[in-house]
Every structure is written in structure tokens, then in C-alpha cells.
A and B are shown apart, each in its own frame.
Chain A
Amino acid sequence: MNELDLKTEGVTGINQRLYGLPKNTNERHWAIRNPMGQHAIACGLDGPLHVEVHGHVGFYCGGMNKDAELVVHGHAGVGVAENLMSGLVWIKGNASESAGATGNGGLLIIDGDASSRCGISMKGIDIVVGGSVGHMSAFMAQRGNLVVCGDAGDALGDSIYEARLYVKGKVASLGADCVEKDMREEHLADLARLLDRAQRTDNPKNFRRYGSARKLYNFNVDHADAY
């Protein structure tokens, strides 16, 4: 594994090293030391690299990544894996606000808790949170799956479109147009696959599913007076 020290190379230096690697490189494994909570660490990766960060990272870690696997042995700041395109981001600690925001694809795993607005405007990303998520999670979520093994805060799934939300614990309150839905076989299978990828032993049958009532995002002529 190749080692990078953020204290000596800085965020830009480290990211440039990773960007400069040819797509077919054999130097796929990288470790980043001393992240010191700095922002935008290992974001914008575009290739099948495996990067491990040892320590806590700041804002926007792993954002926009494509094909890469990123593991953070620590906590993550605001907007981790923001707009993730594909690949994997795995946070071994907790994550701050807006984890996985606007993610298009790939998988974000947070072993601990995530804060408010987890999965806000998600567009196809899958997110598995081992702990709980804060208020306004999955706000305007469009596509993808959000799995919460703990509890969810207030206004879960407010103004949600087509994403699927699975929560094992308590939901403080559902947001506008978010409702509980039946858990069918295909959902149990999806959920089992995601839990398995996150190496979790939770039983899919203990989860409840939430999604859009689809009453808000289509214009409804009966509600014309309300507009």
C-alpha cells in the first residue's frame, strides 16, 4: 500500500497524486495519514482505486467519486460522498450533516450515526447507516435506497419522490407526502443485499419501509386553489 501524509503534502497535493494515476495503474492501494479534519480529501476520484484514510476527515470527503473504494477510519464532516457517482465510501465512525447528498450512484456505508439531512436530494445512491439519522433526512430524495438501522429524526422523507427508505428503529415524524408502505418480497431482497454489503447482521424483516405517497409532486387539478 502506498502511503500519503496529508500534513506534508496538503489536500491538493494528495488529490493531485491520486488524479495523476493512469486508469490502468497497478498502484491501486493508497493510505492517507494525518487527515486533520481537512476538507475535500480524496474527492473527485475517477478510477478503481482503493483508498483508506486513517483519522477524521472534514467536509465533502469522497464527493463525486467514480469507481473508487474509499474507507475512512474515523468520523466524517459535512457532505461526505456528496454527489457520489459510483463505487463505495465507507465511514467507520459517524458522519455529519448532508451525508450522501445528491448522490447519483454507488454505496455509502456509515457504521455510526449520520446527522441531519442524510441523503438529501439523493438521485440513485444507496446509503446504509448503522446508527441513527437526524432530522430532514432523505428530503426531496429522488432515487436510491436509504437504510437506517437505528432511529430517524423529524420530517423523514419530506417531499420525497421515488427513493425507498428502510428504518429499523423509531421514526420521530414523517415529512410531507412521505408514508409507510408495504414491505414486499422484492424490498426484503433489496434490503438483505444492502445489509449484506455493509456487513450487517440486522434482519430485514425488522425494518419498515417508507416512500412517497405521490400526492405532492404531480399537479393535481383538485388542489388548484391551493397554488
Chain B
Amino acid sequence: MCGIVGLYLKNPKLQPKLGAMFKPMIIEMTNRGPDSAGVAIYRNPVKKNQVKFSLAHDDAGYDWKKVETGLEKALKCDATIKKIGNHCILVTNAKENAAVKWLDAHHPDVRVVGSGHTIEIFKEVGLPANVYDKFDLDEAKGTHIIGHTRMATESAVTTAGSHPFATGADLCLVHNGSLSNHNRLRENLRREGMEFQTENDTEVAAAYMTWKLRGGATLKEALEDGIEDLDGFYTFLVGTADGFAVVRDPIACKHAVMAETDDWVAMATEYRAIAHLPGADDAKIWEPEPATIYTWGGHA
């Protein structure tokens, strides 16, 4: 059992309130997932020649300044780092692959949890309310946000095993359910060159999406192929640069509900998370059909 929540603002006037509107949604899902929580927020897009990394380290006192100056010196680039909780947001004009390689070699304990132009991913063990506070999300502004509250079933309760999982530039995945063929799929993907940080089933689904997208599939195609190749129970919520996508397995026994008004689109495991939003009572509310892909923002 886990909780999934997503909020996409159609009305730009609400963007300054994104973090505040989302807070009661994710907290309402606490008893579906008290082990850990995470969000992916889309905000502060960087310049075209820049890339934004979300980095995490188990030590909250990690010396991020060292990463900043080290990267600048080694790759002769600009880099700025902003520490948020035990994560940091690194913006650099270095090439993405080169930066990842350098981080791997010189700061092997630092995990790259997300990358792109707008996405920022924060995740941590603990109650959703604590995690939310830790990363200063109350005041967060942005266009859309997705979140996850985890009750671990398939693998250990760790920060690395928390959701969301990055699946490429500005893309991430959260999952409610469990996959039954993740071990074999992980081995197959390893042979294709994908790397894994955990034994987590959702990480396999994320790597599968990444692999498909790298191969040239659109998001919709990747999700359609996923319905064929991923065995198990799932509702997936995929965050994209300009919106989000939702898909449920063909049996659809993992709950999901969607709601839309003129101002916003919301998705949640249970309606009670959406009930906190202004206008929820009169929203158009429906349940996503099994094995059907829903998208907002036109990315797919």
C-alpha cells in the first residue's frame, strides 16, 4: 500500500501557492505510506545550455561547496549549488554526462535523484509531514508537483528506495503497487546497460521507461509497452516537463481517482487527498480506466 498524489495547475495565478495547496494532499496520504515520502516539483526552469541536478547524500552536513568548486575546476564550467535539507540543487552549464561521470568518480556517495531543466526531486524516509517540512515545500512555487507516500513491500525502507524515481530529463515515476517480474526485467535491463541503485521494483519500472525513451519511444509509447512488459499491480503517475501522465494495470485493483476544475487537475490514490483543494466538491471527478493512458500537458 502506498499513496500517490499529483497536482497540475491550469491557472497560472495559483502557481505561488503550489506547495501550500499540495501539502494537505500528501499529508492526507500518510496512513497509506508512513515509511517515506518524496515529491517532484517543477519550478525555476534553467537556461537551455544548463542542466539542473537534484543530488542527495545520507549526511545532512555534507560539504556541497566542495562539489560546486570541484566540478567548476574539473570541467571548466559554471556551477551553483543550493542546499535544501540533505539534498541540493546543482545548476551547471557542463555537459550532463560529463557532470554525472565526475560526480561518480569524486563523490561516489552522492546520488543523482533527478535531472533536467525544471524538475527537482526530494525524498526521504519518515512521515510525509516531516519530509515536506525538511525540504521547505510549504512556500514552494511551481507549475506542477507529484508526490508519493511509501509503505514498503518489495524492498527496504531507505531514501534511495523512496519515490519518485527519475526516468530521464524532467521525467519521474511514482508507483502504487508491486511488480512481480522485476528481478528478471532488471537483469535484462542491466544487459542493455542500465544501472541500478537498489533492489526496488519501482526503480526497475523507471529504468524500463528510461530505456524505452532513450530508444526513441514517446512517453505514451513507453507506457503502452510497459502494459505488455511489466507484470504486477500498479498505478503509475509520471511527471513530465509540462504535465503528468497516469496509467493503471489491466486489472486495476490499485486505486486511483482524478479530478479537474478550470483551475487545476489532480490525481490521487484516494479522493480524500483531493478533497482539500479549492472547488473539489464541484470538480469533475472520475476513475482512470484500466490499461488506459491519461496525459496532461501534451508531452506524450
Contact = CB atoms under 8 A, between A and B. Distances in A.
A58 interface: yes
A116 interface: yes
Interface centre among B271, B286, B289 (most CB of A within 10 A): B271
B287 A56 contact: no
B252 A96 contact: no
Contacts of A115: 287
Contacts of B127: none
B53 to A, nearest CB: 37
A74 B271 CA distance: 12
Given A36-B272, A37-B274, A116-B290, A56 B255 contact: no
Interface string B245-285: 00000001101010000000000001111111000110001
A115 to B, nearest CB: 5
Nearest to A55: B281
Interface in B189-212: none
B255 A58 contact: no
B271 A56 contact: yes
Given A36-B275, A75-B271, A96 B257 contact: yes
A93 B286 CA distance: 11
Given A96-B257, A116-B252, A77 B271 contact: yes
A93 B274 CA distance: 17
Contacts of A37: 270-275
Nearest to A75: B285
A58 B271 contact: yes
A74 B283 CA distance: 11
Nearest to B289: A134
Interface in A160-212: none
A56 B283 CA distance: 11
A96 B252 CA distance: 12
Contacts of B285: 56, 75, 93-94
Interface in A24-73: 36-39, 55-56, 58-59
A54 to B, nearest CB: 9
Contacts of B286: 94
Contacts of A127: none
Nearest to B257: A96
Contacts of B274: 37
B177 to A, nearest CB: 14
A58 B287 contact: no
Interface in B69-100: none
A58 B29 CA distance: 13
Contacts of A39: 272
A94 B255 CA distance: 15
Given A56-B275, A97-B253, A77 B281 contact: no
Nearest to B273: A37
30 contacts: A36-B272, A36-B276, A37-B270, A37-B271, A37-B272, A37-B273, A37-B274, A37-B275, A38-B272, A55-B281, A56-B271, A56-B275, A56-B285, A58-B270, A58-B272, A59-B270, A77-B257, A94-B285, A94-B286, A94-B287, A96-B255, A96-B257, A96-B287, A97-B253, A97-B287, A116-B252, A116-B253, A116-B290, A134-B289, A135-B290
Given A116-B290, A135-B290, 16 more contacts: A36-B275, A36-B276, A37-B271, A39-B272, A56-B280, A56-B285, A75-B285, A77-B257, A78-B255, A93-B285, A96-B255, A97-B255, A97-B287, A116-B252, A134-B289, A135-B252
A-B interface, 4 closest residue pairs, ranked by CB to CB distance from nearest: A37-B272, A37-B271, A37-B275, A36-B275
